[in-house]
């Protein structure tokens, strides 16, 4: 009876809603029409007739020019099945590239009607109903995630993917962490097996005796600074030898203090010839800190001389004098049990199988990033037992178990069944590109991570962590294309300042800028920020001072070597970066030299590439691909003396090119005051730069600064694009139609929270799609949400 009452109430509610709908909308049938019904009706009544009239001769009725046959598309579902093709159709119609402008009868209103309808058909969705959340795509760890995970899981300080030579990760939807492209070809599996063997051999030591001698490389230490080595030692007395010298052919000496765990061990006079200094230390079990401080010399007035440094060749530890040496820290962290150990006095040793079980019972939950079953532990223990029966020692058998763990699907693939542990995994790989840390795992174990307040606290903690630099490199680096800067080939004969050090500085500038935005910046700052970060090299490149000094006087190497060849400058404070205010002619990301060089050709700037980059990467509105058989820009030149602007005008005279280029070219030409590597210029080859232009919306500008100001009014479009890109990166899959409702909520949440980058990250992490909740509640709940909170979707 209770169920019957519920059914009656549901029916009454439906009747009331129908009554209200008829009352509010005058009883019209349009009010009851669903979104897809409306779109299908408009397609039949308006869109298809327009396509037949203006495109039918070439693309319907059996015509199939350029492989495009619009006759096949008779329903919305069919159109959505070929979304990328219809995005191209929308693009060429919007750009006036199709139908061909020279014989087109398509009016402005009808063109806009077609563009708007295609956009609605592909992207619009009714968010006032329940929509299933798209399924999770199983994801393999990419190269960066694999290296970071191995580092944090085992404590190693090398990159297995580089040492073994992993294949480059495929890119999908603009990123290399997308489940659909992270396949596992046989050669990749072979690489994983090689990497697992390498890691196991480096982590698990089988010869304890060799640990009695540990040697560490030293570095060159400037005046007043200290270098430190931290060996992992057993308790006992050790003999230590430090080989070092003072400077290059210095007539005097340096004064050095050696300390162990804060206690002064020796004070030394170090001369210019390399010498060995021997002493003893009493070590504690664990990490011991040996510091070598260059605290004074006979001529402190010369301390700035780059040759007056303390060169430490090596530091050697031998011992302990009594007892066994310790294994390495990473070994002892993994190998937590041995066959000979006993649990209590007068009991038998636990034996090899039990010791193995204890090692992997502790290790596997970290490696698999979730609780593990007895069967999963037994599977690894069985591998080790078989190795023992084959004649391998206990430690050697553990190596086989570790290898088996590192090539298992449970390690190589991310479990995203979206319980609390899976949420910890998704959150950690999104923000850190690595496995969850102890705090995240602990909250997942307690089942508290889905609590909204707890989740917000963790997002803030993770963004405040130095590990969040992975989000800068992984997301911003790929979104902005910074990774591609290492691949571009700039003509160094034409651009004398270009070299690998400058290239690295340009990349780091933009990385530091993005890190600053992620910490405390807004979406608007991306285009309007009046600050950046420079080292002396970049300050000279931009024509700025560095801490009140002329950076041209701050290099420590001559511009020419003894053979007369030019070599790269090495600046004082080469690695010291400072925040500076930008001059009037630069503002925001668009005037970063990294972006400008990235969108150039080897010998000249490229207005087309720059315009396309702004449309695609910032505004999220990429122009359609160039039609086939279009002549290149060089082929379209009137003569060799034609300016770039004149060449582009000739290029646009081709009707097939005009539509797209009228959108791209004005933006790129507005940035022509910046040369191919991003330096400011007022003229090129003696001809004054003409940077004025007009955008397709009628906005007019005279200078790059005015162009940036116009583009800065489009930050809502930038936010929409940015949210889509970051959502794609976070979930590891492309945007699907149901995600449009999620993105609307994320954008609304970001706008409600001062449009900060952090609120965008938080909004994505708190969204239904990221949390993988089963349904999305009606969009009308947004106004009822408390301030600074995402709407409840319970």
Q: How far apart are CA 738 and CA 126, in angstroms?
A: 9
Distances (CA, A) of 479 to 616, 646, 786: 10, 32, 32
For the chain, how many helices (H) and strands (E)?
Answer: 31, 19
Q: How far apart are CA 319 and CA 325, in angstroms?
A: 7
Q: Higher confidence at residue 556 or residue 210?
A: 210
Return left, alpha or beta for 635; rule: phi > 0 is left, psi -120 to 50 is alpha, else beta: alpha
Residue 390 CB burial class (10 angstroms; 0-12, 13-18, ≥19): exposed
Is there a contact between 191 and 185 (Cβ–Cβ < 8 Å)?
no
Residues 6+ apart with CB under 8 A from 304: 223
pLDDT for 98: 80
Q: Mean pLDDT, to the nearest integer, of 306-332? A: 94
Distances (CA, A) of 586 to 522, 613, 703: 18, 18, 11
Q: How far apart are CA 364 and CA 356, in angstroms?
A: 12
Q: Higher confidence at residue 728 or residue 556?
A: 728
Confidence of residue 550 (pLDDT cuts 50, 70, 90): very high
Determine if the peptide bond prior to 162 is cis (ω within 30°). no
Closest CA to 580 of 542, 535, 532: 532
Closest CA to 231 of 167, 314, 343, 147: 314
pLDDT for 182: 94
Q: Mean pLDDT, to the nearest integer, of 648-667? A: 70
Which string of DSSP letters, residue by residue, matches 246-275?
ETTT-SS-EEEEEEETTEEEEEEEE-SS-E
Confidence of residue 12 (pLDDT cuts 50, 70, 90): very low
- In this structure, what token pair is assigned to residue 528? 């309007």
pLDDT for 785: 31
Phi then psi for 18, rounded to 5 degrees?
-65, -40
pLDDT for 568: 64
For residue 628, pLDDT over 70 is answered with no
Residues 6+ apart with CB under 8 A from 155: 329, 330, 333
Confidence of residue 248 (pLDDT cuts 50, 70, 90): confident
Q: Mean pLDDT, to the nearest integer, of 531-535? A: 97
pLDDT for 250: 84
Is there a contact between 471 and 148 (Cβ–Cβ < 8 Å)?
no
Confidence of residue 646 (pLDDT cuts 50, 70, 90): low
Q: How far apart are CA 669 and CA 664, in angstroms?
A: 9
SS3 492: coil
Give the β-pairing of 310-318 and 220-221: antiparallel
Strand residues in 500-577 grouped as ranges (E): 531-534
pLDDT for 566: 52
For residue 143, pLDDT over 90 is answered with yes
Least confident span in 111-125, 224-238, 642-656, 686-700: 642-656
For residue 573, pLDDT over 70 is answered with yes
Q: How far apart are CA 661 and CA 594, in angstroms?
A: 24
pLDDT for 783: 30
For residue 269, pLDDT over 80 is answered with yes
Mean pLDDT of the chain: 87
Least confident span in 2-6, 199-203, 249-253, 672-676: 2-6
Q: Higher confidence at residue 125 or residue 596?
A: 596
For residue 639, pLDDT over 50 is answered with yes
pLDDT for 560: 47
For residue 142, pLDDT over 80 is answered with yes
Distances (CA, A) of 395 to 153, 204, 336: 19, 7, 11
Q: Mean pLDDT, to the nearest integer, of 111-140? A: 83
Residues 6+ apart with CB under 8 A from 390: none
pLDDT for 138: 83
Instruction: State the angle between helix axes of 420-431 and 438-446 in degrees (0 to 180), rounded to the nearest 10.
Output: 160
pLDDT for 776: 40
Most confident range (mean pLDDT) of 7-21, 369-383, 563-577 is 369-383
pLDDT for 586: 96
Is there a contact between 692 and 671 (Cβ–Cβ < 8 Å)?
no
pLDDT for 523: 97
Which string of DSSP letters, residue by residue, matches 73-133?
--SHHHHHHTHHHHHHHHHHHHTT-SS-GGG----HHHHHHHHHHHHHHHH----SS--BP
Q: How far apart are CA 372 and CA 356, in angstroms?
A: 15
Q: How far apart are CA 477 and CA 15, in angstroms?
A: 54
Q: Higher confidence at residue 567 or residue 532?
A: 532
Confidence of residue 301 (pLDDT cuts 50, 70, 90): confident
For residue 240, pLDDT over 60 is answered with yes
Confidence of residue 187 (pLDDT cuts 50, 70, 90): very high
pLDDT for 789: 37
- 299 secondary structure, DSSP code: -
For residue 774, pLDDT over 60 is answered with no
For residue 188, pLDDT over 90 is answered with yes
Q: Higher confidence at residue 305 or residue 528?
A: 528
Please give the model's pTM, rounded to 2 decimal places: 0.85
For residue 97, pLDDT over 90 is answered with no
Is there a contact between 461 and 420 (Cβ–Cβ < 8 Å)?
no
Is there a contact between 595 and 510 (Cβ–Cβ < 8 Å)?
yes
N-to-C CA span, the chain? 27
- In this structure, what token pair is assigned to residue 558? 């001559």
For residue 3, pLDDT over 60 is answered with no
Return left, alpha or beta for 543; rule: phi > 0 is left, psi -120 to 50 is alpha, else beta: left
Confidence of residue 561 (pLDDT cuts 50, 70, 90): very low
Least confident span in 66-75, 281-290, 422-431, 625-634: 625-634
Q: Mean pLDDT, to the nearest integer, of 50-68? A: 85
For residue 156, pLDDT over 70 is answered with yes
Determine if the peptide bond prior to 99 is cis (ω within 30°). yes
pLDDT in tens, 438-453: 999 999 999 999 999 9
């Amino acid at each position: 009876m209770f169920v019957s009452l519920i059914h009656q109430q549901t029916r009454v509610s439906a009747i009331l809603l129908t009554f209200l709908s008829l009352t509010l909308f005058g009883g019209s049938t349009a009010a009851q029409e669903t979104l897809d019904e409306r779109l299908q009706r408009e397609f039949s009544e308006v869109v298809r007739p327009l396509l037949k009239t203006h495109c039918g001769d070439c693309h319907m009725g059996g015509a199939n020019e350029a492989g495009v046959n619009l006759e096949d598309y008779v329903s919305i579902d069919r159109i959505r099945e070929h979304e990328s093709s219809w995005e191209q159709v929308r693009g060429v119609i919007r750009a006036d590239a199709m139908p061909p402008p020279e014989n087109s009868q398509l009016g402005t209103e009808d063109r806009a009607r077609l563009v708007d309808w295609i956009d609605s058909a592909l992207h619009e969705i009714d968010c006032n109903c329940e929509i299933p959340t798209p399924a999770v795509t199983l994801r393999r760890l990419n190269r960066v995630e694999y290296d970071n995970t191995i580092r944090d899981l085992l404590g190693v300080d090398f990159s297995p993917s580089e040492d073994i030579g992993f294949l480059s990760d495929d890119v999908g939807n603009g990123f290399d962490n997308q489940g659909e492209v992270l396949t596992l070809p046989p050669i990749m599996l072979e690489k994983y097996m090689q990497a697992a063997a390498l890691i196991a051999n480096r982590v698990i030591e089988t010869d304890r005796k060799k640990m009695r001698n540990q040697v560490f490389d030293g570095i060159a230490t400037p005046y007043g600074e200290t270098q430190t080595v931290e060996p992992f030692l057993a308790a006992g007395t050790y003999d230590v030898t430090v080989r070092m010298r003072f400077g290059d052919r210095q007539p005097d000496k340096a004064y050095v203090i050696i300390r162990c765990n804060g206690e002064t061990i020796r004070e030394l006079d170090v001369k210019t010839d390399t010498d060995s200094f021997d002493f003893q230390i009493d070590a504690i079990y664990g990490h011991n800190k040996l510091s070598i401080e260059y605290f004074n010399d006979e001529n402190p007035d010369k301390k700035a001389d780059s040759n007056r440094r303390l060169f430490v060749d090596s530091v050697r530890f031998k011992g302990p004098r009594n007892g066994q040496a310790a294994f390495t820290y990473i070994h002892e962290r993994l190998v937590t049990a041995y066959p000979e150990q006993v649990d209590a006095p007068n009991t038998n040793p636990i034996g090899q199988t039990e010791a193995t079980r204890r090692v992997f019972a502790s290790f596997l939950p970290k490696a698999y990033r979730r609780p593990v079953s007895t069967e999963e532990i037994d599977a690894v223990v069985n591998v080790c037992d078989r190795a023992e029966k084959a004649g391998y020692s206990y430690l050697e058998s553990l190596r086989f178990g570790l290898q088996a763990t590192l090539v298992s699907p449970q390690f190589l693939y991310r479990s995203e069944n979206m319980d609390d542990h899976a949420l910890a995994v998704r959150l950690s790989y999104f923000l850190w590109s690595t496995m969850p840390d102890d705090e995240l795992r602990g909250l997942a174990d307690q089942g508290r991570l889905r609590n909204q307040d707890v989740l917000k606290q963790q997002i803030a903690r993770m963004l405040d962590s130095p590990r969040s630099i992975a989000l800068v490199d992984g997301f911003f680096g790929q979104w902005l294309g910074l990774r591609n800067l290492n691949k571009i080939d700039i003509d160094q004969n034409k651009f004398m300042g270009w070299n690998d050090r400058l290239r690295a500085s340009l990349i780091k500038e933009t990385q530091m800028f993005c890190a600053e935005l992620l910490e405390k910046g807004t979406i608007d700052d991306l285009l309007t920020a009046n600050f950046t970060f420079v080292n002396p090299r970049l300050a000279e490149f931009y024509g700025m001072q560095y801490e009140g000094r002329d950076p041209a006087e701050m290099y420590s190497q001559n511009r020419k070597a003894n053979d007369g060849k030019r070599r790269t400058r090495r600046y004082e404070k080469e690695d010291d970066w400072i925040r500076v205010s930008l001059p009037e002619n630069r503002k925001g990301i668009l005037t970063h030299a990294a972006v400008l060089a990235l969108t150039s050709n080897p010998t000249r700037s490229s207005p087309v590439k720059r315009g396309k980059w702004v449309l695609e990467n910032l505004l999220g509105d990429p122009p359609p691909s160039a039609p086939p058989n279009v002549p290149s820009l060089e082929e379209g030149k009137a003569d060799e003396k034609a300016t770039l602007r004149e060449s582009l005008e000739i290029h646009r005279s081709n009707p097939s090119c005009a539509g797209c280029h009228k959108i791209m070219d004005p933006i790129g030409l507005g940035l022509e005051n910046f040369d191919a590597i991003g330096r400011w210029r007022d003229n090129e080859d003696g001809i004054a730069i003409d940077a004025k232009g007009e955008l397709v919306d009628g906005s007019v500008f005279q200078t790059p600064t005015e162009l940036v100001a116009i583009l800065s009014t489009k930050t809502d479009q930038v936010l929409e694009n940015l949210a889509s890109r970051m959502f794609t990166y976070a979930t590891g899959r492309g945007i699907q139609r149901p995600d449009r409702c999620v993105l609307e909520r994320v954008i609304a949440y970001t706008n409600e929270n001062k449009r900060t980058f952090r609120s965008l990250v938080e909004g994505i992490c708190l969204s239904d799609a990221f949390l993988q909740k089963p349904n999305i509640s009606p969009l009308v709940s947004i106004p009822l949400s408390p301030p600074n909170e995402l709407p409840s979707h319970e």
